[in-house]
Structure formats: C-alpha cells, structure tokens
C-alpha cells in the first residue's frame, strides 16, 4: 500500500512539474508575443509612468533594468535638465526606456528637439492634441504613445497614428479625466473602440490589479503612484512617507475648472476645495494655485502648502520598496492570479 502511495505521489509530482514547465513555456511564449513587449522590446508588460518631480533617470533606468519600461517625466524639467537625465539614463541601462511629455507645458519644441537629438526611441505624450507631434516624432523613428481618459480621445489618438494608447481611469494620480470614468469601466470600452495596443493605467499597484486589467483587454499596464514610493524616485522623502501613510479616502480629484488633478488632502487642497465650493472663478483658482505648487509639495516636501499628486491606490501602499522588487512582485502576483483563476475551471 505504502509503495502505491509513493508511486502515485511520484507520478503526481511529475505531473505538477510538467504542468509547471508547460505553463512557464506558455508564459514566456505569450510574453514574447505580447503586443506591448514586442513594440518596445521589453521583457514584461509593465510601464513605469512618467511623473513630474518623481521619475528621473534613476527610477526610469531601474525599471528598465528590471525588465519593464521606465519613463523619464519631462514635465518638470527644463530642456537641458531633460538632456542630462536622458544621458544619465543611457549610461545606467542598455535596455529600452522612454520620455513622457505632457503637451500642456511650455518649452515643448525644445523638449522635442532634445529628445530627437539624444536619440530617444520611445515617447509618451499626454495632456494635449496627439496630432501635433505624432507624425514629426515617428518620422524620426520614434515610437509614440498617447495618454487618454476617454473613448473619444482614444479614437482621436488612433486617427493621429500613434503606436499605442494609455487609457487612464479616475483612480489615477496626477492629471486625469473630467468624466471620472474608472479604469474598470474605461478599459473594455477603449478596447472595443480601437485596434492598436492598449495600456491600462489608474489604480494599478498589485499583480492582482494587473491581471484584472489584462482580463479587461489591456495588453500592458502603466503604474504611477506605486513607483513614487521607491528609493529611486526623486520625490522628497517626506512625500514618499506621506504616500505610505495615506489611507483610503485621503485623495480627491480637484481643479476640474483648470486641469483636473488628484491630490492628497492637505491645507492647500482644502483651500482649493473651499474656493470651489464658493464658486471661485478660473482666475481665482489660478491665483490660488500660484506658481510651482507641485515642486513645493512633491520635490521640496512642503506637506501643508504644496501640491501632492497621488492616486487612490496610495491607500494600499504600505512600504517604500526598490523599483525592481515592485516589478518582480507585480509579475509574480499577476502570474499567480492568472493561475488561480485558471484553476477555478469554470
């Protein structure tokens, strides 16, 4: 009897082993064939979002070295600072990386000039018309992705000829859509509307959320807030600690009259909310916002009067971790989630 149990255990183990190796082979094969991995020549379908005051060369190169795609956030950089970050990133990694350019900021022509001169191969544009720069950049051999928060702009981006679209839900940190469409609702609609690769963003801080986005039809995920709480992020330590301490309900979407932005509730944010409640005009809100609020908060660490941009997912971030560890955890947990769902066998 004992022998039989041994033999059957052995057979069972063999079955598990071969199942695992088939699963691994399939996974490697499917990652190799993933539209976004192919487009950017990266190992994992994970993009680290471009983030003002947070994503310089150190974070971008760490994520790229870990197998994802790191993006330098050009929005908070003067053109020559951007050049410096690109050059340092090239030295720190031989893997692909890109630059995020919010089109609403000044100096766009100079930023684009630096990007072309430095031979950057991937550009993510946001907050503007995708038609303006896509053709020019592609003529220079650059792959272009545009960030949108609704179906209408996803279609406009496709018409403009972009290589892929990031669709970003209401949960996201930073500037996001006025429609308040959540990632869960947005991704399937965008997927249905377009026929180019799709990257989901907004509220993704775990492998489970990543698996959910792949299930909704995304080819990859763009992760912002989770990467703020890393040693490699250039955010002020006080801001990183605030992100780790943040609880459910600590962020709110504000400044819809200007450019909507999700902020941690602090003295500055409360002043904005109070002004909005009493019907402040655009001009009054612009005056209240003043200059360099985001730098004051996220880079200089003024937790009371600074602008602290972060996503709802901050409530689930409990530790500062190296970027490579986050990439690994996202992949491991995503794989386990998919395997767990497969095992349910509906």
Ligand X SMILES: Cc1cc2nc3c(=O)[nH]c(=O)nc-3n(C[C@H](O)[C@H](O)[C@H](O)COP(=O)(O)O)c2cc1C
Binding-site ranges for ligand X (CB under 6 A): 49-52, 54, 73, 75, 100, 102, 126, 147, 168, 171-174, 201-204, 222-225, 228, 298, 309-311, 313
Residue 95 backbone phi and psi in degrees, to 5: -90, 165
Q: Which of 202, 294, 314 is closest to 251 using CA atoms? A: 314
Q: Whose Cβ is closer to ligand X: residue 110's or residue 284's?
A: 110
CB 226, min distance to ligand X, A: 6
In a 10 Å sphere around its CB, with 0-12 CB exposed, 13-18 middle and 19+ buried, how is residue 279 labelled? exposed
Between strands 174-175 and 261-264, the pairing is antiparallel
CB 174, min distance to ligand X, A: 2
CB 180, min distance to ligand X, A: 14
| Six-digit token string for 246 | 């943040």
Q: Whose Cβ is closer to ligand X: residue 228's or residue 275's?
A: 228
**For ligand X, which residue has the nearest CB?**
224
Q: Give pairs for 116-119: CB < 8 Å, separation 24+.
A: 116/140, 116/142, 117/83, 118/83, 118/86, 118/87, 118/90
Q: Whose Cβ is closer to ligand X: residue 27's or residue 252's?
A: 252
CB 11, min distance to ligand X, A: 45
Q: Which of 261, 204, 209 is closest to 227 using CA atoms? A: 204
CB 225, min distance to ligand X, A: 3
Q: Whose Cβ is closer to ligand X: residue 72's or residue 338's?
A: 72
| Alpha helix stretches (DSSP H) within the chain | 2-32, 35-40, 57-65, 79-92, 108-117, 131-139, 151-159, 183-193, 207-216, 225-228, 237-245, 267-277, 282-289, 293-294, 323-344
Q: Whose Cβ is closer to ligand X: residue 284's or residue 301's?
A: 301
CB 176, min distance to ligand X, A: 7
Could you tell me the strand order of the sheet in which 97-102 lies?
A: 46-48, 220-223, 198-201, 164-168, 143-148, 122-126, 97-102, 70-73
Reported residue count of the chain is 346
Let me know: does 313 contact 205? Beta carbons within 8 Å.
yes
CB 214, min distance to ligand X, A: 16
Give residue for tokens 């209401």.
170
Q: Which of 232, 227, 236 is closest to 61 using CA atoms? A: 232
CB 78, min distance to ligand X, A: 14
Residue 262 backbone phi and psi in degrees, to 5: -90, 125
Q: Whose Cβ is closer to ligand X: residue 67's or residue 169's?
A: 169
Q: Whose Cβ is closer to ligand X: residue 79's or residue 339's?
A: 79
Q: Whose Cβ is closer to ligand X: residue 226's or residue 281's?
A: 226
CB 100, min distance to ligand X, A: 5
């Amino acid at each position: 009897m004992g022998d039989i149990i041994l033999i059957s255990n052995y057979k069972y183990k063999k079955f598990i082993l071969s199942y695992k190796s088939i699963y691994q082979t399939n996974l490697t094969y499917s990652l190799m064939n993933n539209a976004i991995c192919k487009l950017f020549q990266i190992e994992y379908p994970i993009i680290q979002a471009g983030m003002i005051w947070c994503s310089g060369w150190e974070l971008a190169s760490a994520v790229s070295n870990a197998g994802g795609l790191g993006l330098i956030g050009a929005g908070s950089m003067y053109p020559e600072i951007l050049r410096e970050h690109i050059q340092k990133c090239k030295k720190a990694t031989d893997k692909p990386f890109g630059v995020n350019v919010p089109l609403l900021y000044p100096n766009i022509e100079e930023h684009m000039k630096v990007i072309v001169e430095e031979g950057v191969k991937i550009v993510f544009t946001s907050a503007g018309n995708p038609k303006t720069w896509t053709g020019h950049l592609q003529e220079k051999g650059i792959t272009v992705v545009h960030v949108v928060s609704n179906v209408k702009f996803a279609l406009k981006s496709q018409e403009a000829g972009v290589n892929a679209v990031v669709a970003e839900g209401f949960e996201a940190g930073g500037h996001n859509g006025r429609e308040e469409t959540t990632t869960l609702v947005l991704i399937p609609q965008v997927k249905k509307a377009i026929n180019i690769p799709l990257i989901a963003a907004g509220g993704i801080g775990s492998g489970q959320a990543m698996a959910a986005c792949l299930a909704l039809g995304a080819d990859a995920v763009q992760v912002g807030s989770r990467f703020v709480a890393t040693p490699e992020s250039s955010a002020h330590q006080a801001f990183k600690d605030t992100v780790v301490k943040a609880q459910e309900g600590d962020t709110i979407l504000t400044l819809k009259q200007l450019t909507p932005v999700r902020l941690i509730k602090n003295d500055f944010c409360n002043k904005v909310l109070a002004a909005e409640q009493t019907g402040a005009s655009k001009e009054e809100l612009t005056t209240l916002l003043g200059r360099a609020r985001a730098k004051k908060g996220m880079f200089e660490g003024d937790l009371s009067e600074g602008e602290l941009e972060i996503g709802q997912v901050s409530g689930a971030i409990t530790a500062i971790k190296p970027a490579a560890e986050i990439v690994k955890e996202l992949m491991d947990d995503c794989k386990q989630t998919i395997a767990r769902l497969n095992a349910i066998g509906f």
